Structure 1
Amino acid sequence: MFVMTADQKGSRRRGDAVPGLLTAVSAWAEEWGDPFVLPVQRTVGDEVQGVLADPAAVVSLALLLQRLGGWSVGIGAGPVTEPLASSAPASAGEAFVLARDAVERARGRAVSVPLAVAGAEPRAAEEAEALLQLLAAVVRRRTAAGWEVVDLMARVGTQREAANRLGISAQAVSQRLDTALWHEETRLHPLAARLLRTAEVAA
């Protein structure tokens, strides 16, 4: 199982960003067909937590939070105490402890981006963290023009249709996608998911 804990950065300066995050996550979950075992909700203060079983959804959600910005994200991959409680904050198990360790590390300056992974299999978790940090760095540097095309591609599926919707050439769409490193990013999602799955079970 995968527990994701996210802690808002600089909440005293920015105000409470949890409602905005929950709205964004709700829209994302609809697109994914509600992948949560237990939905993301506020734990205490400016922290949220949710539980997922699908590592591909974990990758997607982690990158969504990095796109939103202002969040330290910790992913715990491991067993949970079953049956789970009615909410993530009320539940327990190794994955929750690992998520706590990960988000604490994500808050620090030792990580290149505010995202960390801790798992029952530490080596796989370390590799998953390195790859997710690389993907997060790509996401965090993507321009508004890049996101416009990336988001449209997710809806329409083809560069030709995206070009028609935007009123630009297919070549211009291709150039934006190349600059956004969209192909490279999406091709690495399955590898990140496999590493998370491996991290879930102790060797």
Structure 2
Amino acid sequence: MFAVHARYRGRERRRADLVRRSAEALSTLDGVGRFELLGVEDICAVIDSAEAVTDTTMALLSAGDWAIGIGVSPGEAVDPEEIRQLATAAIGRRCRTGVVRVRSRTGDDMGDIAAVFVLLSHVLAKRTTEGREATQLMRGGMNQNEAAAELGISKQAMSQRLAAAGWAAETAGWKLAVTLLRAADTGTPQDPGRHPGIR
């Protein structure tokens, strides 16, 4: 079981409203529980699957201005409050925007998971508006032909947008993050899952 704790680090003047709206939006992602507001800048949710944790973390990284803590508590009977505390401890007091920290109840080193999210953050930060549109459609389950038709561009132009947006790197990073999170949750390595939108 996992928890994700996110702290807003941006300069939005109406930050409480932005944080509340972000919590509501993140709560609609597949496999994500309800994000709770923890004061003006912090939100937290308990999440069951590695895929949902990865999707949530990538959404926060894409939005920018968030520091993220992930708590991992392997085992069947896990106290949700304990895992929330792990995520909160992972984020720490002096967190920076775009930083992902991971803490496990077992005390294992989770630096490899955090490193994958650093790389994904770099890919996501380099995207243009067109690249975000293209990858969002692919993530939503469309194939390249469908996404190209939706955007009113040729398949070749769609392919170029995806290449420039780092879609292949995102896909590989997503799979690796899921694999590492699953291994941390179960204590055994597993095959990577499928990124939404990959056929």
TM-score bin (small chain) = 0.7 to 0.9
SS at match of 1:122: coil
Instruction: Identify unmatched segments of 5+ residues in structure 2.
Output: 189-199
- Aligned counterparts of 2:5 and 2:92: Cα–Cα separation in 1: 10
Aligned pair partner of 2:71 in 76, 97, 106: 76
- Aligned counterparts of 1:78 and 1:39: Cα–Cα separation in 2: 18
Listed one character per residue, the Cα deviations across residues 120-143 of structure 1 (whole Å, up to 9, x for unaligned) are 3523x1111101111122112211
Shift of 1:82: 5.2
SS at match of 1:195: helix
- Aligned counterparts of 1:170 and 1:193: Cα–Cα separation in 2: 29
Task: State how 1:104-115 maps to structure 2 within 5 Å.
Answer: 104=92, 107-108=95-96, 113-115=98-100
2:90 aligned with 1:102: yes
Q: TM-score with structure 2 length normalisation?
A: 0.81
Question: Which 10-residue stretch deviates more, 136-145 or 125-134?
Answer: 136-145
Aligned pair partner of 2:39 in 44, 47, 56: 44
SS at match of 1:3: strand
Name the counterpart of 1:26: 27
Aligned pair partner of 2:56 in 61, 80, 84: 61
Label 1:191 to 1:105 Cα distance change in 2 as closer, same or farther (>3 A).
Answer: farther
Query: Aligned residue pairs: how many?
Result: 186
- Aligned counterparts of 1:59 and 1:106: Cα–Cα separation in 2: 23
Contact 2:128–2:165 at 8 Å: present in 1 too?
A: yes
Higher fraction of helix: 1
Name the counterpart of 1:165: 150
Task: State how 1:102-141 maps to structure 2 within 5 Å.
Answer: 102-104=90-92, 107-108=95-96, 113-119=98-104, 120-123=106-109, 125-141=110-126
Contact 2:62–2:124 at 8 Å: present in 1 too?
A: yes
Aligned amino acid, residue 86 of structure 2: L
2:67 aligned with 1:92: no
- Aligned counterparts of 1:189 and 1:80: Cα–Cα separation in 2: 23
Aligned amino acid, residue 107 of structure 1: C
Q: TM-score with structure 1 length normalisation?
A: 0.80
Aligned amino acid, residue 191 of structure 1: L
Shift of 1:14: 5.0
- Aligned counterparts of 1:121 and 1:185: Cα–Cα separation in 2: 28
Contact 2:138–2:144 at 8 Å: present in 1 too?
A: yes
Label 1:77 to 1:105 Cα distance change in 2 as closer, same or farther (>3 A).
Answer: farther
Listed one character per residue, the Cα deviations across residues 69-123 of structure 1 (whole Å, up to 9, x for unaligned) are 2211100111589575xxxxxx422x333212211177148xxx32111123523
Contact 1:121–1:199 at 8 Å: present in 2 too?
A: no
* Residue identity (%): 31
- Aligned counterparts of 1:179 and 1:142: Cα–Cα separation in 2: 8
SS at match of 2:150: helix
